Structure 1
Amino acid sequence: MSTGGDRDRAAAVREDPDVTAPWEPVSATAPTAVSASTRRPSLDDESFALVLGAFVFVGVALVAVFVFWGRELPIDGRGSLGEFTAIAGGIAAAVCFALSRLLPRRAPDPRTDPDAARYRWFDLIALSAAHGAIALLGWIGVATILDHSLVGATVFASPAVVLTAAAAALSGYLSFLSGANLSPRHLSLVLAVFLVVGIVSAMLSAADPQWWQMNLSALGMTHDISSLTFNLTLIVSGVIVTTIARFGTASLPAVTPADRRRRALVRTVFVLLGVLLACVGIFPVDRFFLIHNTVATGMAVAYAIMVIGLPWLIPTMPKVFLALGFTYVGAIIVLALLFATGIYNLTAVELIGALLIFSWLILFLRNVQTIGRVRASAHPELSAS
């Protein structure tokens, strides 16, 4: 039976639906709202993030003093300012994101979502690793650009300490706020930023400037930082997609057994996409040619199955989004034909195909959250206890 407090909670979410905690999703068996008492006010998050950033600044600065003392550091390369900053920023980002999700007010409630409690630690590790990798690869990319802009320049120890401490503090600050405000739409942004930062960093650090004449997977064939960056990006992205499988579909209807079966199928295909994507990075093309090409092709097939089956799997999905998915599948088929006739090279086909698939995944997350918001507004009685 619905109570006055339940109605107030439903109204609160309708006013600000994007702040729903990720482990308290909208479902038929769970409340569609989170009371004001269970959420940290945004001002508290901002203040906590600033204090945490200050601690990171001091801690990294103390370590950097011992590492940098009496040295003039190159901007990029081994033993450089960029390398130390990237490592420090990555660790700070991962730790601060984990802290934001471990606060008691953000713990999963087994009564509202049993799956959330079951997979809490997997989600936490995956998303913490993603935020740490974004900071790591992002600072590597910045260092590479600066090194190419300031050829031969070195940095004295004192400014190096300040720069690396400030970069780590910024990484920790932003990651904490990211974890404090995580939602399916925000997760789509995390996935997009991570992919762009990782792939661009791999391109910038590629030892062979003509890698694009072969294929995109050529970035993962060498044994330098470019190969590590590229393969790490694919592996972590695959883990993120498997996290999306549950988190991003939590707001889908699950009233009837048929609803639950359809949602389980959507999650299964997403997990398959994530596993195949991670395998593309785990098995480089130069050492595992057959396996690499098989999993890459399988990922495209799984994506096509998802798009074609979506009208049945999620009947409430907007028709415009469904049409966009079919358009993307058609575009990928056209790209494959252009490659077969020698008009496009494989790198162009892979880049455009990857852009289409991942942009579809990002838009899927945003549309799924919209469905959950509309459902919560149309059926506030589902929040009854």
Structure 2
Amino acid sequence: MSTSTPSHGMARRLAAQAAVEESSHPAGVSRTQAQTQAKLQVLIESRAIWCAIGGALIGVVLGFVVFAEHRPPLAGEESIQVYGSAVGGVTAALAFLLGFSLNARLANIWLGERPKIRQLMDTVALLVVHASIAVMVSLGLFRVFQEAFIGLTVDSIAGAVLLAIVGGISGYFSFNSGARITAFSLSTLLALFMASGVLVSMIFAENPFWWHVMFSELGTGQAGLTSFWTFNTTLVVSGTIITTLTAFITRDLEIWSEFITGLRAEKLEQRQAGQRRADGRLPWWARLRAAWTRHVSRPRIGMVRAVMISMGVSLAGVGLVPISLHHDIHVLFSAFFVLSFLVLLVGMPYVLPGFPRTFYLISYLSAAGVILAAALWQPIGYYNLTSLELIGAAVLFSWMVVFIRNIAALVAQLKGPVA
């Protein structure tokens, strides 16, 4: 999955040129800048194809080696499912590393400017996410096809081709994901990863009635070793991904905040020009009003960052301390996660003034939905804790998608049309 030196040099030149053009046009997108970005995207696509070819070659070679002396089934022992999940996981991991490295060095350079420990944690977490998704998709698809074609086995050529398809698709999409990662794509990956991890935990749970208690029952020893490790690892990695997502969200918010703060300062200065006395000073009431306006209208990006990081840490804590290990600490982490989310929902008009009012409305409705869902659990007793957790997860990811799309729309509005 390597690329040639000339291509590497071209990528650096295009990235450097795009950075210069972006700094020269901070409030908009020039035609030259758009063309440079387009060339960089084409180059990324070319490298993704090379990753697909490399992944396919890995699959072909492994297929001819492991299937040389027997006809493998689609699923089960020594099957396409088993080796396909291995090929998909390894290929996805390698391709993601190449794509994410390109992203951090050439596109989102700020990713490589953070503390090394932060970069390492994010890279490992994202690598696990991409590899796990490839593994779980491969396991699920071949299981479904085996159920559809009961008793089907294939020869070594067909087996190698199937592994090549898995490796090629995994390499292509993982490289693209790493090279073009954004807040929106990261939130989608997070939702897909959590859903897949929890689903696998459910399938392998040895206690079929775990749902009579709550989702945390999947992370106990009674659920079985596979379910235990899958569920808790999913929570820990997802918590780390939320902190990574926070970095993308707050960076976009800072771009929007800088623009809107300057715009409001200009409007305030224009209004104060007509309120100044003959000596050039403002009356006390005008100064007080100006101070209040600055306080109310100032976006508080640091508060958003702190609350979202606390959500990520709390979710990771839920996985690190299973309920069977220490009930009270596990419940404390869970409660702190919910409390942080509610604070973010209710405090949106204060921490991010200037967002569309419809977004504030959806935030309040989401908070009301979570509180109502909790009341239906306790004290009403309409359903059990598992149902509450499902509703809470649905509200969380739905609101997160709306939040990120609103941020993207506001930032795109600042850039304006291509000049």
Scaled by the length of structure 1, the TM-score of the pair is: 0.80
Task: Determine if the alignment matches structure 1 residue 267 to structure 2 residue 268.
Answer: no
> What is the deviation of 1:153?
5.3
In the alignment, which residue of structure 2 is the partner of 1:376?
Answer: 415
Aligned pairs for 1:106-145 (under 5 A) are 106=106, 108-109=108-109, 115=114, 119-145=118-144
Instruction: Report if the CA contact (8 A) 1:137-1:229 is conserved.
Output: no
Task: Determine if the alignment matches structure 1 residue 363 to structure 2 residue 402.
Answer: yes
Aligned pairs for 1:323-334 (under 5 A) are 323-334=361-372
> How far apart, in 1, do the equivalents of 2:63 and 2:21 lie?
56
**Bigger-Rg structure (1/2):** 2
Tell me, what secondary structure is at the counterpart of 1:232? helix
Aligned pairs for 1:1-385 (under 5 A) are 11-12=28-29, 36-37=35-36, 40-73=39-72, 75-76=74-75, 79-103=78-102, 106=106, 108-109=108-109, 115=114, 119-149=118-148, 154-221=153-220, 222-253=223-254, 254-255=257-258, 262-340=300-378, 341-377=380-416
1:37–1:129 distance in 2 versus 1, CA, 3 Å: same
> How far apart, in 2, do the equivalents of 1:87 and 1:68 lie?
14
1:317–1:224 distance in 2 versus 1, CA, 3 Å: same
Question: Structure 1: where are the runs of 5+ without partners?
Answer: 16-32, 381-385
Tell me, what secondary structure is at the counterpart of 2:205? coil
The C-alpha deviation readout for 1:112-160, integer Å capped at 9, x for no partner, is 9955999544443332322222212222222443455555655544433
1:230–1:40 distance in 2 versus 1, CA, 3 Å: farther
- Letter matched to residue 415 of structure 2: A
Instruction: Report if the CA contact (8 A) 1:241-1:271 is conserved.
Output: yes
Q: Which has the higher contact order (CA 8 A, sep 6+)?
A: 1
1:153–1:188 distance in 2 versus 1, CA, 3 Å: same
- Letter matched to residue 412 of structure 2: R
> How far apart, in 1, do the equivalents of 2:214 and 2:248 lie?
33
The C-alpha deviation readout for 1:285-308, integer Å capped at 9, x for no partner, is 233322222211111011011112
> How far apart, in 1, do the equivalents of 2:113 and 2:51 lie?
31
1:85–1:4 distance in 2 versus 1, CA, 3 Å: closer
Question: Structure 2: where are the runs of 5+ without partners?
Answer: 1-19, 262-293
> What is the deviation of 1:335?
1.6
> How far apart, in 1, do the equivalents of 2:163 and 2:37 lie?
36
Tell me, what secondary structure is at the counterpart of 2:251? coil
Tell me, what secondary structure is at the counterpart of 1:252? helix
1:260–1:240 distance in 2 versus 1, CA, 3 Å: farther
> What is the deviation of 1:44?
2.9
> What is the deviation of 1:272?
0.9
Instruction: Report if the CA contact (8 A) 2:204-2:224 is conserved.
Output: no
> How far apart, in 2, do the equivalents of 1:374 and 1:313 lie?
20
> How far apart, in 1, do the equivalents of 2:144 and 2:228 lie?
18
> How far apart, in 1, do the equivalents of 2:375 and 2:196 lie?
30
Scaled by the length of structure 2, the TM-score of the pair is: 0.74
- Letter matched to residue 373 of structure 2: L
The C-alpha deviation readout for 1:153-175, integer Å capped at 9, x for no partner, is 55544433222221121011011
> What is the deviation of 1:107?
5.2
- Letter matched to residue 84 of structure 1: Y
> How far apart, in 1, do the equivalents of 2:229 and 2:77 lie?
14
In the alignment, which residue of structure 2 is the partner of 1:23?
Answer: none
